[in-house]
Amino acid sequence: MLRKFRALFFLVPAMVALAQQPPPSPSPSPAKPKPPPVPEQKTTVSSVHVDGPYIALTFDDGPNEKLTPRLLDLLAQHHIHATFFVIGENAAQYPEILQRAVREGHEIGNHTWSHPNLAKMSEENVRSQINRTEETITNAIGSGPTLFRPPYGSLTARQKHFIHDELGYEIILWEVDPLDWKRPGPNIVSSRILKETRPGSIVLSHDIHAQTIQAMPATFTELEAKGFKFVTVSELLKLRTPVPPPTPKPVNAPTATPSPVVAPSPNG
């Protein structure tokens, strides 16, 4: 008897649902949530989701003859590994600084030959900017870079695809930008980084400004005090964990969100 009743209990709602009538139960099961919209293929990375207090410090536009070795000394004192996005022209001039950086556990990324705004250039010139720098880095340290950062974060969608898909680079932007190139003073640089950095952050700075180097001892000490652990960008990418699923959206929510077309900051 009970069995029959239970069978009916399951059958009846199905039948009425088919007949498109309101279900008899006072608490109908909620409508099945729509699957999330398929995101546009992600070709750039500004931060990652990680289980742990991992961050990646990045320094752009060097190497600089005086400042980069000073920064390497500070990083060594703190046992911090960082990532340097170097300009090909500078790398060609100071290959020994790249060699030292790699010897001390840092990573070298490609930041173009002469720091142009790539979004305004032909594909041929963009390739030349990247390939020439890649060759210079490879000659200096014996292996090619796998990370690329566009100057000013500026790339067209088409360029993103060929740099990622054809040239095989991970395109690395940033999440934390202390605007150190405006030279606001070491304390401001430091406090901006400390305020914005969270687990998974990629932090942007430049090892060509004396103020930035002056800001680093306090910045490193404070980040350490907050419990952060420092890894290179490639290490951070390997530590990536899946982002937890978003909370279900209301049924009538729009399914398409416009993808941002602007660069994160006029910097890099």
Site size toward Zn ion (CB under 5 A) is 4
88 binds Zn ion (CB under 5 A): no
Of the candidates 60, 177, 180, 207, the residue annotated as catalytic is: 60
Least separation in angstroms between residue 150's CB and Zn ion is 9
Distance CA 13, CA 226 (A): 55
Residue range at the interface with Zn ion (CB under 5 A); choices 3-11, 116-124, 144-152, 248-256: 144-152
Least separation in angstroms between residue 187's CB and Zn ion is 23
User: Which pair of structure tokens corresponds to residue 138?
Assistant: 């490879």
180 vs 201, which CB is nearer to Zn ion? Answer: 180
Name residues contacting Zn ion, limited to 161-220 (CB under 5 A): none
Distance CA 134, CA 139 (A): 9
Distance CA 163, CA 155 (A): 10
Cis peptide before 242 (omega within 30 of 0): no
Site string for Zn ion, 7-46 (x = CB under 5 A): ----------------------------------------
DSSP secondary-structure letter at 21?
A: -
- Work out the angle at residue 158's Cα, subtended by the Cα atoms of residues 154 and 164, and round it to the nearest 5 degrees: 80
For residue 193, the SS3 value is helix
Sequence-distant (6+) residues with CB within 8 A of 169 are 110, 130, 145, 146, 147, 148, 163
Distances 17 to 9, 25, 68 between C-alpha atoms, Å: 13, 11, 69
268 binds Zn ion (CB under 5 A): yes
Least separation in angstroms between residue 115's CB and Zn ion is 6
151 binds Zn ion (CB under 5 A): yes
53 vs 156, which CB is nearer to Zn ion? Answer: 156
User: Which pair of structure tokens corresponds to residue 140?
Assistant: 């200096």
172 close to 233: Cβ distance less than 8 angstroms: yes
Q: Which residues pair with 119 in a beta bridge?
A: none
Based on the residue annotation, tell me whether 207 is a catalytic residue of this protein.
no
Residue range at the interface with Zn ion (CB under 5 A); choices 25-33, 145-153, 178-186, 249-257: 145-153
CB atoms within 10 A of CB 266: 13
100 close to 65: Cβ distance less than 8 angstroms: no
Q: Which residues pair with 201 in a beta bridge?
A: 47
Based on the residue annotation, tell me whether 60 is a catalytic residue of this protein.
yes
109 vs 200, which CB is nearer to Zn ion? Answer: 109
Of the candidates 106, 115, 164, 206, the residue annotated as catalytic is: 206
Residue range at the interface with Zn ion (CB under 5 A); choices 35-43, 61-69, 124-132, 167-175: 61-69
Residue range at the interface with Zn ion (CB under 5 A); choices 1-9, 148-156, 194-202, 235-243: 148-156
181 vs 220, which CB is nearer to Zn ion? Answer: 181
Q: Which residues bind Zn ion (CB under 5 A)?
A: 60-61, 151, 268
Name the residues annotated as catalytic.
60, 206
